[in-house]
Amino acid sequence: MRRSLTSAITISSIGLICKSFLNLGFVPSIRIEGLHHLLDALNDTKRRNAGAGVITVSNHISVLDEPLTWGILPSSHYFSRDTKSMRWALGASDIMFTNPVLSEFFRAGQVIETFRGRGIYQPAVNDAISLLNSGEWIHLFPESKVFQESSKSTTGLGPFKWGIGRMLMEARHPPTIIPIYLTGFDELMPEPRPSPKFVPRIWNSPNLTITFGPHSPQFTETIRKAMLGLREPRHPSVGLGSPVKGGVDGERAQDEVEVEREREESDRLRSLITDEIRKAVIQLGKRALREDS
């Protein structure tokens, strides 16, 4: 998609601000590992033009994780007029879309208004799926709120919402999934913090790390297996053509049972897929935090 002029200006200025912040010595150190995993995924134009999206998934340790993390991208990503060069993020309505000016700003910054508590069948998730189907890049914080403890230990990672499970099951082509683990941003923006609320705490000497992991073929395999499971009826005897007792009412009851069964099955698969992604983030986090050494 071609980025509008407003969006192009927003993305390039925020990108440059983030890059400057990271490069001008406001933080004592920043360690970046595995960035090529993301850049290679983004640069796979053949796959993306064929309609396979990219999903990045990370732990969420401060209100600055976004957009500061993207300050490490090559600046060509900020100046491209193609929306594919920058992530689409899901942003909380009650925080980011509280007035028309902010709403316009975040929309221009490729943030999709999301209502927390409205579940996985809301327009934001539908939009994310359509974007993935056109090869766009979606970034998710599946914990959907800040869990700062995960900056120190992977045991601090919160539970993941199932929206990502739905996206992966419903995207037309299996997206490339790049896990990310962040540490140190919590020192920059501790929760809770006194006034001035929106000033980054550079005096805390935050040392940031941003670690990217590879896409694992296992994700695609799990999704494929899960989808196969969904299509196989669990009780073949009540499939089409089998006699149903009780006439029309019996049939209707049977249909309802079937719908209910499918819903439970989809829930189970979404949770399974989401869990798989969470495990990958934990595994990456252990490496980032040197927990396994």
Minimum CB distance to ligand NAG smaller for 63 or for 244:
63
Which CA distances in Å does 287 have to 30, 203, 238?
16, 27, 49
Taking CB under 6 A as the rule, does residue 49 contact ligand NAG? Answer: no
| Residue with smaller CB distance to ligand NAG, 191 or 267 | 191
One-letter amino acid at 201 equals: R
Q: CB 40 → ligand NAG: shortest distance, Å?
A: 7
Q: Within positions 80 to 139, which residues make up the interface with ligand NAG, using CB under 6 A? A: none
Residue whose tokens read 């790390």: 209
Q: Which stretch, 113-121, 190-198, 204-212, 239-247, contacts ligand NAG (CB under 6 A)? A: 204-212
**Taking CB under 6 A as the rule, does residue 206 contact ligand NAG?**
yes
With 0-12 / 13-18 / 19 or more C-beta atoms within 10 angstroms meaning exposed / middle / buried, residue 49 is: exposed
Nearer to ligand NAG, 62 or 114 (CB): 62
Stretch that binds ligand NAG, among 85-93, 198-206, 218-226, 265-273 (CB under 6 A): 198-206
Based on the shown chain and the rule CB under 6 A, indicate whether residue 207 belongs to the binding site for ligand NAG: yes
Nearer to ligand NAG, 4 or 29 (CB): 29
| Of the residues 65, 66, 187, 276, which one makes contact with ligand NAG according to CB under 6 A | 187
Contact pick of 20, 43, 75, 98 for ligand NAG (by CB under 6 A)? 43
Contact 204, 190 (CB under 8 A): yes
- The site that binds ligand NAG (CB under 6 A) totals a number of residues, namely 9
Site membership for ligand NAG, residue 242 (CB under 6 A):
no
Q: Report the nearest approach of ligand NAG to the CB of residue 27 (Å).
A: 8
148 contributes a contact to ligand NAG by CB under 6 A: no
Q: Per the structure block, which two tokens stand in for 16?
A: 């440059």
Stretch touching ligand NAG by CB under 6 A, among 77-85, 167-175, 201-209, 275-283: 201-209
Stretch that binds ligand NAG, among 121-129, 147-155, 205-213, 227-235 (CB under 6 A): 205-213
Based on CB atoms, which residue is closest to ligand NAG, 80 or 283? 80
Residue 282 as a binder of ligand NAG (CB under 6 A): the answer is: no
Pick the closer one to ligand NAG by CB: 54 or 96: 54
Q: Which two tokens stand for residue 177?
A: 């999934």
126/209 with CB nearer ligand NAG: 209
Is 28 a binder of ligand NAG (CB under 6 A)? yes
SS3 letters across the chain: CECCHHHHHHHHHHHHHHHHHHHCCCCCEEEEECHHHHHHHHHCHHHHHCCCCEEEEECCCCCCHHHHHHHHCCCHHHHCCEHHHCCEEEEEHHHHCCCHHHHHHHHHCCEEEECCCCCCCCHHHHHHHHHHHCCCEEEECCCCCCCHHHHCCHHHCCCCCCHHHHHHHHCCCCCEEEEEEEECHHHHCCCCCCCCCCCCCHHHCCEEEEEECCCCHHHHHHHHHHHHHHHCCCCHHHCCCCCCCCHHHHHHHHHHHHHHHHHHHHHHHHHHHHHHHHHHHHHHHHHHCCCCC
Q: Which residues bind ligand NAG (CB under 6 A)?
A: 28-29, 39, 43, 187, 204-207
